[in-house]
Amino acid sequence: MNTKYFDSIELKEMDKVKLMNRTDHKFWFHGAYLPDLLKQVEEDYYLLHIDGEYQLPYATTYYDTKKNFMFSAHHNGKLNRFKIRRRSYVNSGISFLEIKFKNNKGRTIKKRIPSTQSYSEFTSTEDQFINSKTPFSAAELKPSLENKFTRLTLVNKNFKERCTIDLNIEFEVSNSIVSLDNLVIVEIKSDGKSSSSPLGLALRKNRIKNNGFSKYCVGRSMTNPNLKQNAFKAKIRNIEKVTQTNYQLI
């Protein structure tokens, strides 16, 4: 994958485009399309580098209630829904406890505090954060899914848009692993006021359509066949078709 023609941006400059209150548009497709897409937009974006690396590993732990309230809310199409996760930016050693809220106007609002990926239990500060910012009690939450992937991050040179490109996606629960090696997930994040996205235009030019993708819900569905997942079955079949692989637990 040739990214040498992108101008680079460093982590300290990312504060200009945090977009903690934003609109999201997701696309997913076979990885064979990615090199050409990147070539089409290389003049429009900066590419994030950390210590000379641009393919950056991420690790995430998602939390849910014993009755899987957050998974079920998404499955049932409920608006004003939450996701709670710990995310580690592996190369930088930085981790956050994050609360994502999708409101009934289609906006994603994210709040986060510094955390550490090594703790399996919530600290008192994290307890207070969850209890004050969500309808859930930290005491009722438990780890429900591990997720790893590699990410490229593009920043529009107007600093009104950030795009993430996720590769090498892997889900794990109780040592059961699902890998989606050929799948690429693109998420275009903006304040909702910016002009047309160059990457969005390139995706449409290649007939790749906006198509929602929740790593949490897809991962839970693929790793736990006992969950109610009727709403996600068609998407999972399409993922198998697009990636030309039949996933299986290993």
Along the chain (250 residues), what's the average pLDDT of each consecutive run of 10 residues? 86 76 86 94 94 93 96 94 94 91 89 82 94 97 96 92 95 90 92 77 92 94 91 91 61
Domain annotation covers residue 108? yes
pTM to 2 decimal places: 0.90
Residue 102 CA from chain centroid, whole number: 14
Q: How many domains does the chain have?
A: 1
Residue type, 163: C
- Strand ranges for the chain from DSSP E: 7-10, 21-30, 45-49, 56-65, 81-89, 94-102, 107-115, 141-156, 161-173, 176-180, 183-190
Residue 207, domain member (yes or no):
yes
Inter-helix orientation angle 198-205/34-41, to 10°: 140
**Helices then strands, each counted (H, E), the chain:** 6, 11
Which structural domain, as residue segments, surrounds residue 29?
A: 7-243
C-alpha–C-alpha distance, residues 207 and 27, integer Å: 11
What CATH number did the domain enclosing 47 receive? 3.20.100.30
Q: Does some domain include residue 27?
A: yes
* Antiparallel, parallel or unpaired: β 45-49 and 7-10: parallel
pLDDT number for residue 216: 97
Tell me, yes or no, whether 2 lies in a domain: no
Pull the structure tokens for residue 171: 């889900």
* In a domain? residue 90: yes
3-state secondary structure at position 67? coil
CB atoms within 10 A of CB 218: 24
Give dist(CA 248, CA 223) in Å, integer: 9
In a domain, 123, yes or no: yes
Residue 23 inside a domain? The answer is yes
Spatial neighbors of 131 by CB under 8 A, at least 6 apart, are 137, 138
Whole-number pLDDT of residue 116: 79
69, part of any domain: yes
Alpha-helical segments (H) within the chain: 34-41, 69-75, 124-133, 198-205, 215-223, 230-243
pLDDT for the residue numbered 178: 93
What is the C-alpha to C-alpha distance for residues 162 and 65, in angstroms, rounded to an integer?
A: 31
Burial (CB count <10 Å: 0-12, 13-18, 19+), residue 110? middle
Distance separating alpha carbons of residues 27 and 186, to the nearest angstrom:
5
Nearest to 92 by CA among 110, 116, 62: 116
- Contact between 100 and 83 under an 8 Å Cβ cutoff? The reply is yes
Per-residue model confidence (pLDDT) at position 247 = 46
